[in-house]
Amino acid sequence: MLSKRDNNPLFAVLDIVITTLSYFFAYFLINLIDTSYFEFYQEYVIMLFLIVPTWAILLQILKLTKIPRIHSHVSIFFSFLNFSSIGFALIFLYKHIFNLAHFSHYFIISFSIINLLALYSFRMLTYKVFKFYRASGHNIHNVLIFADDNSDKFIDNILAHKEWGFRILMILTNSRRIINKYGNTIKIFPDKISIKNLLDIDIIDEVIYCKSNIDEQKLEELIESCKEIGVTFRLQSDLSPMSVTNAHLTHFENIPFITFMNTPKNTLALAWKSFSEFWISFFIIFILSPFLLIIALAIKISSRGPVIFKQERVGLRGRKFYIYKFRTMVYNAEKLKASLASKNETDGPIFKIKDDPRITRVGKLLRKTGLDELPQLFNVLKGEMSLIGPRPPIPQEVEKYERWQLKRLSVKPGITCTWQVIPNRHDILFEKWMKLDIQYIENWSIKKDFVLIFKTIKSFFTPTGH
């Protein structure tokens, strides 16, 4: 079982660095055998340029850039052995496709072994670091469990392994045994309580159903309640009486669960989205760094206050984080907001004024071009946001959401999305905005993200874009 937060693009970068070092180390070792035979021909450079993107994509497809919560060292090793075997075959294929006659077979064998051991050792190191990190209360996955008299072993397993990073937020049960055993340490409610209210109030990543007896009608209601707002639902598979199509099999240690998800689940496409957005953000920041410095100086010189405006926003499933923007308003803008409430030009919980008097002269230019959003690229690098996704709301807005609108929080928020690229966006009603975001989530694809990126760039040069 993996959290979206376990898929850190940084590990993809480090894996490629380790692979490159393995490549040169393998050459060094082989070169000790016979310097003249293993001369560093141009073919070795060509092969390295082929290996780097291939390894990056392959590691993502096989989910090896993720840090597993519950996997044995042996299973992780065999996962990397499988990866290494595929890579080994691809290198041989590249050698013959591109006619790299001087590329040594001994080098291929040496590199494959060294790379396997290096990547596996690095993953074991990060696995141990993350286990300690999770055991200390970080990167936690909140779960709600439906339990009965036979569920205590499963609950004990989670409580005993804090390094897995799962927090039992509450248990829904009518079992006296469960109540007596865990009632002093975990919130327990009768299982007839409305799960909709619990999901709306608390940050819950997963609902796990491990009761022996199942009411099929109630089960369908639970699945629908989770599906409505994008919360993962897991049902112990040997208990399931249902024939399901929108589900897949996962394992919690050695216990099989049927998992229901109503958020994007194309593994390859999601892996590519995560990988590409990290690198795109990194290169934009690198290339525009002088320009970002100029903007920072213009803000500092023109008005009082910090260059970067930080504001608390709501992200994935209700988690709060601070979004970064170039400051476009006067330093006390938040205090002045109450006095301008009567001038709000949008419906719903959003506050917008077309000619907001709090905006500075530099701020007007930044907002018109969208350049004030550039610091959010650092939010992307931190894993708090995506380039494309529903805009992150402020906590006060979320408090006023209707239940169906909470599905916006089932994916990472983004810098831009459908609403940002349509003409006269500020005239669109709040409900239409919410429906556009949910439509994006339910119909997500890589192609749609590319289209939205190009439309966002185009909107910078049109008068209705901002």
Query: In 10 A of CB 53, how many CB atoms?
Result: 10
Contact 393, 314 (CB under 8 A): yes
Handedness of CA 164, 169, 173, 175 (dihedral sign): positive
Q: Per-10-residue mean pLDDT for the chain, 466 residues long?
A: 49 86 88 60 87 88 70 76 90 90 86 93 80 62 89 84 80 92 91 83 86 79 83 70 48 59 63 79 91 93 90 89 92 70 62 75 87 92 89 89 86 85 72 86 83 77 53
**Tell me, what's the pLDDT at 417?**
86
What's the rounded Cα separation, in Å, for the pair 40 and 237? Answer: 55
User: Strand, coil or helix: what is 424?
Assistant: coil
pTM here is 0.56
Side chain identity at 55, as an amino acid letter?
A: W
**Tell me, what's the pLDDT at 298?**
93
Handedness of CA 352, 355, 358, 364 (dihedral sign): positive
Q: Which residues of 359-394 are buried (b: 16+ CB within 10 A; e: fewer)?
A: bbebbeebbeebbbbbbbbebbbebbbbbbbbbbbb
What's the rounded Cα separation, in Å, for the pair 234 and 2? Answer: 13
Q: What is the dihedral of CA 386, 390, 395, 397, to 10 degrees?
A: 170
* 321, β-bridge pairs: 313
Domains (range + CATH), the chain: 4-135 (no CATH), 141-260 (3.40.50.150), 267-459 (no CATH)
Under DSSP, the state recorded for 404 is G
Q: 415, 143, 405, 447: which is closest to 266 by C-alpha?
A: 447
Contact 233, 260 (CB under 8 A): yes
